[in-house]
Structure 1
């Protein structure tokens, strides 16, 4: 009897392990990843259905903050500073809240994004931006709550919300011209000191032309910002390249400069590497 009892328990345990009932979410999750000009915008939200209910003014009360979707708070991320309805919004990740009203909506970008729905305690200091827009009435009903980015140009788009027969469109602009011009000017100005360092490092590591690598690391050191010490890791690379070219005297002098910088920065690893190299090249 005991054997049968334990056999039954084992079978039940196995069933509970392998039986995974899959059912659809009541409010399915959705993601948007959209380029507008040169700005990357990402939105994560959940899509409740109307299901025959009156939404605004009933399911979603007028005059109260709403999570703008279902489940966890809807998030809006952008990798550049933009303007929403003409107002500045810094790049970053925000919870997107709204306050629906019959004749106007408040759209709120909130800096705390880890809430399940609305924050337990609303903190006005976390409101990065609040804008007001007018809702429109749709000719047909939208069953599932929908967020979209539409009317895309190189410099602008609209953040659109639609559910039941209500449609809200929030215009925003992106700094495409400023970003493009800065990129063009940087490219036309030639490589940066970091580019020269990366090229020298690659040539050294791949055992390519050491004279060219030395020219590039010298260029990187020359172009490095003058308001602070030459990076000790730049000097470390130069010393290694000098040693490979056979200039051990020069390599020791450069390694000593790198050693001083490493000591100043409190970097024990580079201190040891430089000391070891100086000892090796001094033989």
Structure 2
């Protein structure tokens, strides 16, 4: 009899745990994702370009020189590293970049040109295991001050692409 009571009690707690776990999972799933995945694609000089990235928000924070320190490799998005793919060989800021998929990073600085990096290890989490030896291409670009862009976004134009976030746009020339 005592064993039957213990089994019922254990069953009750197990059911209560499962029900509360499902309810909490549904609550989390229904809320907004803090840095949702996004992508943009287009054609530049005959090459099909696609950029996959996590899109974080400013949320009143100081972004470059704050959340993202100057002089340090930044994954150019949130969570997984941003992935840049081209189906044809292109030139980026006058330098050749073979067709393929690359992790896209930037190194922001307070003043002057930023370093833009295309790394051969396309799939990686953030920049935590970034290896400079795997860089396919590094070029320097001049960022521009722009109106506030709350959520990080990439734009593809006829002359290249840009990463826009906070009050900064990082344009990259592609041919």
TM normalised by structure 2 equals 0.85
Alignment match, 2:161: 159
Alignment match, 2:156: 149
Alignment match, 1:107: 116
Give the unaligned 5+ runs of structure 1.
174-283
Is the aligned partner of 1:92 residue 2:100? yes
The 5-angstrom pairing of residues 67-82 of structure 1 reads 67-82=75-90
Relative contact order higher in (CA < 8 Å, ≥ 6 apart)? 2
- CA contact 2:83–2:123 (8 Å) conserved in 1: no
Is the aligned partner of 1:123 residue 2:132? yes
Is the aligned partner of 1:171 residue 2:173? yes
Choose from 27, 30, 43 the match for 2:38.
30
The 5-angstrom pairing of residues 1-283 of structure 1 reads 1-2=5-6, 4-12=8-16, 14-15=18-19, 18-19=22-23, 20-21=25-26, 22=29, 23-101=31-109, 102-120=111-129, 122-124=131-133, 126-138=134-146, 140-150=147-157, 152=158, 157-173=159-175
Q: Secondary structure at the match of 2:60?
A: coil
What root-mean-square deviation, in Å, do the aligned CA atoms of Structure 1 and Structure 2 show?
A: 1.9
The alpha carbon displacement at 1:130 in A equals: 0.8
Give, in whole Å, the separation in 1 of the partners of 2:173 and 2:20.
Answer: 51
Give, in whole Å, the separation in 1 of the partners of 2:92 and 2:130.
Answer: 25
Give the unaligned 5+ runs of structure 2.
none
- Between 46-55 and 32-41, report the one with greater CA deviation: 32-41
- CA contact 2:53–2:77 (8 Å) conserved in 1: yes
Question: Per the alignment, do residues 52 and 34 of structure 1 end up closer, same or farther by CA in structure 2, a change over 3 Å counting?
Answer: same
- CA contact 2:85–2:99 (8 Å) conserved in 1: yes
More helix by share: 1
The alpha carbon displacement at 1:16 in A equals: 5.2
The alpha carbon displacement at 1:117 in A equals: 0.8
The alpha carbon displacement at 1:50 in A equals: 1.0
In terms of Rg, which structure is larger?
1
Give, in whole Å, the separation in 2 of the partners of 1:79 and 1:115.
Answer: 20
The alpha carbon displacement at 1:161 in A equals: 1.1
The alpha carbon displacement at 1:158 in A equals: 1.7
Number of equivalent positions: 166
Q: Secondary structure at the match of 1:55?
A: coil
The alpha carbon displacement at 1:114 in A equals: 2.5
TM normalised by structure 1 equals 0.54
